[in-house]
């Protein structure tokens, strides 16, 4: 079924503290019918699995050692239509009526996936309606689909050249 694979190595981006999600989505947009994507990353990108599944791709994963992973995404039938609000974007949800943050995390200076892991662990201990304020070096694009899956809302503000403030309203699914 899959004629070929397009290989994308995002390890240099991750090791330099960058966000690979836009490059991954560009590569996915370039895939031809029936073509798969071979992704090389410095961690197992679990939130990406659901993003790609919604686009109609199944995955298989293999740890390469030293923390590196190879993920192969293969097309499986027609892509499911993506809901309009499937991925939160900066400014998507108006947070002006949300309560003041009850928890705050400074995730700056951390390497992926640590900011996401700490954010999700913190949300597990919060009650629905509470707001978490997180500071990040980059827009945490892989975090948004995971937040939506867990029933949380997010609002991102770019506060500096490479600083982002994300407000997360804890949903009832945590």
Q: At what angle do helices 46-54 and 21-30 cross, to 10 degrees?
A: 30
Contacts of residue 3, Cβ cutoff 8 Å, sequence gap at least 6: 32, 34, 35
Q: What is the mean pLDDT of the chain?
A: 85
For residue 120, the model assigns a pLDDT of 93
For residue 126, the model assigns a pLDDT of 94
* Residue 115 neighbours by CB distance under 10 Å: 24
Strand pairing class (5-9; 36-41): parallel
Q: What percent of the chain has pLDDT over 90?
A: 51
Who has greater pLDDT, 79 or 61?
61
pLDDT(83) > 70? no
Q: What is the pLDDT of residues 108-146, one digit of tens each?
A: 998 888 899 999 999 999 999 999 999 999 888 888 888
pLDDT(97) > 50? yes
Q: What is the pTM of this model?
A: 0.59
Q: What percent of the chain has pLDDT over 70?
A: 87
Q: Which domains does the chain have, with CATH numbers?
A: 5-75 (3.30.110.40), 95-170 (3.30.110.40)
For residue 47, the model assigns a pLDDT of 83
For residue 161, the model assigns a pLDDT of 86
């Amino acid at each position: 079924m899959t004629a070929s694979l397009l290989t994308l190595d995002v390890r240099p981006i991750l090791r330099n503290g960058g966000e690979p999600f836009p490059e991954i989505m560009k590569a996915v947009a370039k895939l031809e019918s029936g073509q798969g994507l071979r992704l090389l990353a410095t961690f197992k990108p679990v939130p990406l699995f659901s993003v790609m599944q919604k686009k109609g791709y199944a995955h298989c994963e293999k740890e390469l050692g030293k923390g590196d992973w190879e993920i192969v995404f293969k097309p499986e039938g027609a892509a499911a239509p993506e809901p309009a609000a499937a991925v939160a974007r900066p400014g998507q949800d108006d947070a002006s009526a949300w309560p003041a943050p009850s928890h705050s995390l400074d995730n700056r200076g951390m390497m992926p996936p640590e900011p996401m892991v700490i954010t999700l662990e913190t949300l597990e201990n919060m009650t629905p309606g509470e707001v978490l304020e997180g500071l990040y070096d980059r827009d945490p694009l892989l975090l948004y689909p995971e937040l939506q899956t867990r029933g949380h809302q997010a609002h991102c503000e770019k506060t500096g050249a490479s600083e982002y403030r994300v407000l997360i309203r804890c949903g009832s699914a945590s």
